[in-house]
Amino acid sequence: MLCPKCGARYEEGLTVCRECNVPLVNELPAQTEPGFIRFVTVYETGDPALIAFAKSILQSEGIRYFVGGESLQDLFAGGRLGTGFNPVIGPIKIQVDEKDAEKAKELLRQIEQGEFERPETDASIQAEEIEGSESKGRSFKNIVIGILIGILISGAGFTVYNYTHKHFSGVAKYDQNKDSKPDLLYYYENGILVKSEEDRNFDGKMDAWEFYK
């Protein structure tokens, strides 16, 4: 007789494990190999309303996804500026399991072309109002001025950030899927990023590492 929890072996006649207090079995269940997911990028954007809508569509279709760089957009330099994404980090990337890549691309194409009707959430309404006001009052001159101001703000913000974090040593933790568990860790030594760890499939275990020299 075997304990299904600790694996201890007992003589015939005993029915409960002395250590774990669980019923014994004749054979242990077969061990299953852990599954691994290879994420591939299927879309890049800086539109927060589109990202929120894409998440809901992918989730409703049962497609596992990962949104890269979303939590870092407002962390570095001048934030998202007027482009919707941080110029240092780049656009937000939507990634899915490679076996679902073609299906996800088709869904995102339909979203982009307006074949899905977006729900009237507060975020989408606000985004549409901002887009409408910008399209009415924006001119080529304003765009050029905005870009120049954004560059100045980015440079100033990046300088301040480097100065304040010059001697920082420790771990910066981020929760990308909002489950109250850190799934992205940055390790710093004297203000220098030396390593990062990431739980890309949100199973509670780090499965991606990057080391910096």
Query: Which domain covers residue 210, as residue numbers?
Result: 160-213
Indicate if 70 and 164 belong to the same structural domain. no
CA 202 to chain centre: 9
In the chain, the DSSP E strands lie at: 39-45, 65-68, 92-97, 170-174, 184-189, 192-198, 208-211
Per-residue pLDDT tens for 98-128?
Answer: 888 899 888 888 887 776 655 554 455 455 5
Structural domains of the chain, count = 3
User: What does pTM read for this prediction?
Assistant: 0.35
- 152 belongs to a structural domain: no
Reduced to 3 states (helix: H, G, I; strand: E, B; else coil), residue 107 is helix
Residue 197 has pLDDT above 90, yes or no: yes
Indicate if 20 and 66 belong to the same structural domain. no
Residue 23 has pLDDT above 90, yes or no: no
Per-residue pLDDT tens for 29-56?
Answer: 766 555 677 888 888 877 777 788 888 8
Indicate if 126 and 183 belong to the same structural domain. no
- 1 belongs to a structural domain: yes
Query: Using CA atoms, how far apart are residues 27 and 3, in angstroms rounded to an integer?
Result: 9
Higher pLDDT, 86 or 106: 106
CA 52 to chain centre: 12
Q: Give the residue from 84, 103, 137 where a domain finishes.
A: 137
CA 29 to chain centre: 34
